[in-house]
C-alpha cells in the first residue's frame, strides 16, 4: 500500500499538446465548446461524459458522472429520473456545475448555471429514440431508492417486457430532461510548467464577458 500511495504522490504529466489562441476567441462560449467537443469525439467514445455537481437542501454537495445529450446557445441537456437524488437537489436548489475533462487533449470545461426541466414533448422525443431495453429499464429502476443487496432486476425486466409486449414503451412521468442554462463557462487548456491557459465567459445582461484567468 505504501508503494501504491508513493506512486500517486509522484505521478507527473507535462501538458504541452495544445494552447488557447487568445487573439481569436469566439464571442459565444458555445462556439468554442462545440469545437472542443467535436475534436474530443473524434478521439474519445465518451467525450460527452461530464460530472454534474448539485447541492442538497442541507447544503451537502454531491457529484456524479452523466452523459450530455444535446447543447445549443441556450444550454446543455441531460436526462435522468426525476425522483433521483440529483433531481431532488435541483428541485431545492437549481444552481449546478458541470465539468467536462478530455485527457487526450489535456482540456477541461467548467460550466456553472441553472438547471430547468425541459418540455415534456422534448423528453418524449428523446425517450422514443432510446433502445427499447433502456426504455423498459427506466420503468424498472426506482433510481436512488434503497433496495436489498440481493435484488435481481431480471424478473422485473421480464415482467415489464411482458407488460409492453407488442406496444410502444411510453416515457415514465418521473423520467425526463434538464437543460442547464450557463451563467459562466471556463475553458482550461493544460500548458507546460503548470502555467495553464484559462479563459472564462460570464453572462451579463444577455451579453458574454470574456476574461483570461491566471493559471
Active site residues per annotation: 194
* DSSP assignment string, 9-27: HT------S----GGG--S
Cα 188 to Cα 210: distance, rounded to the nearest angstrom: 14
For residue 140, CA distances in Å to 57, 162, 178 come to 27, 12, 21
Cα 117 to Cα 96: distance, rounded to the nearest angstrom: 13
Could you tell me if 123 and 177 are in contact, meaning their C-beta atoms sit under 8 angstroms apart? yes
| Strand boundaries in 75-196, DSSP class E | 75-81, 95-102, 107-117, 175-189
Cα 81 to Cα 97: distance, rounded to the nearest angstrom: 18
Amino acid at each position: 500500500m505504501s508503494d501504491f500511495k508513493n506512486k500517486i504522490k509522484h505521478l507527473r504529466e507535462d501538458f504541452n499538446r495544445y494552447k488557447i489562441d487568445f487573439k481569436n476567441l469566439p464571442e459565444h462560449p458555445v462556439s468554442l465548446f462545440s469545437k472542443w467537443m467535436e475534436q474530443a469525439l473524434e478521439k474519445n467514445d465518451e467525450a460527452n461524459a461530464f460530472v454534474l455537481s448539485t447541492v442538497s437542501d442541507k447544503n451537502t454537495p454531491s457529484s456524479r458522472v452523466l452523459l450530455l445529450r444535446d447543447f445549443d446557445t441556450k444550454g446543455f441537456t441531460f436526462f435522468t429520473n426525476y425522483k433521483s437524488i440529483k433531481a431532488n437537489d435541483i428541485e431545492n436548489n437549481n444552481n449546478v456545475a458541470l465539468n467536462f475533462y478530455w485527457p487526450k487533449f489535456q482540456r477541461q470545461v467548467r460550466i456553472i448555471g441553472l438547471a430547468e426541466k425541459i418540455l415534456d414533448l422534448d423528453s418524449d422525443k428523446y425517450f422514443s429514440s432510446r433502445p427499447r431495453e433502456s426504455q423498459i429499464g427506466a420503468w424498472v429502476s426506482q433510481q436512488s431508492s434503497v433496495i436489498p443487496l440481493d435484488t435481481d432486476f431480471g424478473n422485473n425486466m421480464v415482467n415489464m417486457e411482458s407488460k409492453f409486449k407488442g406496444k410502444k414503451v411510453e416515457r415514465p412521468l418521473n423520467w425526463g430532461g434538464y437543460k442547464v442554462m450557463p451563467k459562466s463557462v471556463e475553458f482550461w487548456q493544460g500548458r507546460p510548467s503548470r502555467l495553464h491557459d484559462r479563459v472564462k465567459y460570464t453572462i451579463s445582461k444577455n451579453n458574454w464577458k470574456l476574461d483570461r484567468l491566471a493559471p
